[in-house]
């Protein structure tokens, strides 16, 4: 039996703004430009928006600040902050709110100016009191410790981590929106400056400016809009911890559960998916999520990503825009996993356009591997 919310909502508009460097713009400016772009893509305007879904790093009540800036008075808002996964999570809450009639036009939006404003990752997070004295570099040290454990337990190598970065860059070289487009080799990654062992600079996501937005409506009116609708077939979340020290097993993420439930809701299996957009804040992420989402056995992710398997021309298309590693990473990347997944289904991706994509997976990660949210998107043919 189909899940009650399967296919009940659709993405009808996509927009990005300020990718790369946008000197002089605030994060709110970039968020608003993204929102305008996505609404124009849908053939809608801000006055039509009555549901707002937004998280930003700059304020403790970002969804209220965003509504104020945009000059709208939404009747439904969700500002749940689970880190970068927040925007994938909003697909679930927006679908439920749309289906229940709590809103009719849902706008999901985000923006950040952190590259030109500070040049380093801006985070609203304060280190937890029992971890702060040891000065882990947040968040990279948490991911580094997960990578170290994975290498110890399964023999994963730095070379295999590097292969993830090389594949991402290979996709990015074809994407005019990507911030880093010069090809790199495994040797380049291994030779880049060590940040927090075993992760070096090229194992880490970019720090860019940029924003993204999406417009969702109920599926029954999705075809009234300008662009081909992309339907939400499944969306599910799970979290295991907030502080990295409390992660139950550093080599297994909650994507095991979020993935299982998202696939069940969509009524599809991992091998049905045509393209995967995974939140690659660090190279270890891609390996962990491929394992946890069922694309290879636990511990085999390192070998799985070797030999260009997830690069252009490989057998599994992963992070086709270049990902957070090479396309863009303005503090929180989650919304871009959904935007690229939807573009691939519509056939409007800015970089390599894959043929015949009907099913796409977007996976968001938040905190230090803390929150995992998986969404399955589909074309009309999959309804």
Partner 1 sequence: MTPDKHFRDGLVAGEIRLQRCSSCHAHIFFPRVLCPACHGTDLDWVNASGQGEVYTFTTVRQRPEKGDDYNVSMIELAEGVRMMTRVDGDPCDVAIGMRVFAYVGEIDGKPAVLCRKTEE
The binding site for partner 1 (CB under 8 A) comprises 129-131, 133-137, 141, 144-146, 148-149, 152, 193-198, 243-246, 250
Structure tokens at 292: 């946890």
Neighbours of 352 (CB within 10 A): 18
Determine the 3-state secondary structure of 251 from DSSP.
coil
Tell me the torsion sign for CA atoms 303, 307, 308, 314: negative
Kind and range of the H or E element at 158? helix 158-172
* Min CB(130)–partner 1 separation in Å: 5
Bridge partners (DSSP) listed for residue 373: 237, 364
Which C-beta is closer to partner 1: that of 103 or that of 287? 287
* Min CB(141)–partner 1 separation in Å: 5
* Min CB(163)–partner 1 separation in Å: 21
Which C-beta is closer to partner 1: that of 145 or that of 361? 145
Please give the DSSP secondary-structure letter assigned to residue 192. Answer: S
Which C-beta is closer to partner 1: that of 75 or that of 152? 152
Query: Which bin fits 323, alpha (ψ -120 to 50), beta or left (φ > 0)?
Result: left
* Min CB(155)–partner 1 separation in Å: 13
* Min CB(153)–partner 1 separation in Å: 8
Which C-beta is closer to partner 1: that of 165 or that of 341? 165
How large is the C-alpha radius of gyration of the chain?
19
Which C-beta is closer to partner 1: that of 240 or that of 344? 240
Which string of b and e fits 13-45 if b means at least 16 CB within 10 Å? bbbbbbbbebeebebbbbbbbbbbbbbebbebe
Which C-beta is closer to partner 1: that of 100 or that of 194? 194
* Min CB(247)–partner 1 separation in Å: 9
């Amino acid at each position: 039996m189909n899940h009650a919310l399967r296919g009940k909502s659709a993405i009808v508009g996509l927009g990005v703004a300020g990718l790369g460097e946008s000197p002089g713009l605030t994060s709110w400016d970039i968020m608003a430009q993204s929102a305008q772009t996505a609404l124009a893509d849908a053939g809608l305007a801000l006055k039509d928006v009555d549901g707002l879904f937004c998280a930003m790093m700059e304020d403790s009540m970002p969804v209220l600040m965003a509504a104020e800036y945009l000059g709208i008075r939404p009747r439904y808002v969700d500002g749940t902050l689970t880190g970068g996964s927040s925007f994938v999570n909003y697909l679930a809450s927006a679908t439920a709110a749309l289906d229940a009639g709590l809103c009719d036009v849902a706008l999901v939006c985000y923006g950040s100016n952190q590259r030109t404003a500070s040049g380093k990752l801006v985070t609203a997070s304060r280190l937890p009191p029992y971890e702060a004295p040891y000065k882990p570099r947040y968040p990279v040290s948490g991911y580094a410790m997960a990578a170290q454990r994975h290498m110890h337990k399964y023999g994963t190598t730095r070379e295999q981590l590097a292969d993830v970065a090389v594949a991402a860059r290979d996709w990015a070289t074809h994407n005019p929106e990507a911030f880093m487009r010069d090809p790199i080799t495994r040797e380049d990654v291994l030779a880049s400056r060590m940040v927090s062992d075993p992760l070096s600079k090229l194992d880490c996501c970019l720090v860019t400016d940029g924003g993204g937005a999406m417009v969702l409506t109920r599926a029954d009116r999705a075809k009234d809009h300008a662009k081909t609708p992309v339907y939400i077939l499944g969306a599910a979340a799970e979290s295991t911890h907030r502080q990295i020290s409390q992660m139950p097993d550093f080599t297994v993420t909650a994507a095991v559960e979020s993935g299982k439930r998202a696939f069940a809701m969509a009524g599809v299996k991992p091998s049905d998916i045509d393209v995967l957009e995974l939140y690659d804040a660090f190279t270890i992420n891609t390996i962990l999520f491929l394992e946890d989402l069922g694309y290879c056995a636990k511990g085999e992710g390192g070998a799985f990503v070797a030999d260009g398997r997830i690069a252009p021309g490989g057998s599994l298309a992963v992070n086709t825009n270049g990902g957070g590693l090479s396309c863009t990473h303005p503090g929180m990347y989650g919304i871009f996993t959904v935007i690229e997944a939807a573009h691939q289904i519509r056939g409007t991706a800015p970089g390599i356009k894959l043929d015949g994509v009907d099913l796409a997976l977007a996976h968001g990660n938040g905190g230090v591997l803390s929150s995992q949210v998986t969404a399955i998107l589909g074309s009309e043919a999959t309804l």
